[in-house]
Copies of this chain bind each other. A is one copy, B any other.
Amino acid sequence: MISVITKRESILSTAAILFRQKGYAATSMRELAEQVGMEAASLYNHISSKEEMLKSICFQVGESYLLHLTEVNQMQAGFREKIARFIHLHLAITIQNIAFVSVANHEWKHLKEENLKTFLEMRKTYEAGVKNILIKGMDSGDFRKMDPSITLYTLLSSLRWVEVWYKENRNISVQELEKNIEHFILNGLST
């Protein structure tokens, strides 16, 4: 089954790459258009604004994260397994959508008004969900008792570098990457 990529999707994809590379504010519609192979004014046949692109990218990533959190929560498994699964899914999203994830991680602050507010709420929901797993894991004795917020942010942050660093030509397999990070984090959580 051949997947057809629309012009809009192509524009979004290129936008994400440029936003990641140069930053949202420093990326102009003219250079985006040039990369796509058209004039800037023509972009508006496919997108409604620069802001709309940023929103679309950020919210797609946010929603993927929330979906996967739901999957982890529905697992019948211990907390270590849940965090391991969480790490796996998180890295999978990252590696498959490097540019989108990078933009959602770094450029969200350029969202306007309600978009920003909604995105931050979405993020807060996600973080609370992960924190909940950590807290339960601490209560059950699987994880060492530590300040839940510090633990949460240290964990999430320790995954963040991958979107900066990852390239397909790295001399390392995704499995090894994941195993190393998983070990680091699970040990970090242990008593």
Chain B residues in 8 Å Cβ range of A21: 109
A147 to B22, CA, bound (A): 30
Contact mask A100-124 → B, CB, 8 Å, 1/0? 0000001001100000000000000
Does A188 have its Cβ within 8 Å of any Cβ on chain B?
A: yes
Does A17 have its Cβ within 8 Å of any Cβ on chain B?
A: no
Copies of this protein in the complex: 2
Chain B residues in 8 Å Cβ range of A147: 172, 176-177, 180
**Are A183 and B109 CB-contacts (below 8 A) given A26-B25, A158-B154?**
no
In A58-79, the 8 Å CB interface with B consists of none
CB proximity of A189 to chain B, nearest CB, Å: 7
User: Do residues A146 and B22 form an inter-chain contact, with CB atoms below 8 A?
Assistant: no
A144 to B183, CA, bound (A): 10
Contact mask A148-183 → B, CB, 8 Å, 1/0? 011101111111111001000000100011001101
Does A49 have its Cβ within 8 Å of any Cβ on chain B?
A: no
Kindly list the 6 A-B residue pairs having the minimum CB-CB distance in the complex, ordered from nearest. A158-B158, A157-B161, A188-B188, A25-B25, A184-B188, A25-B26
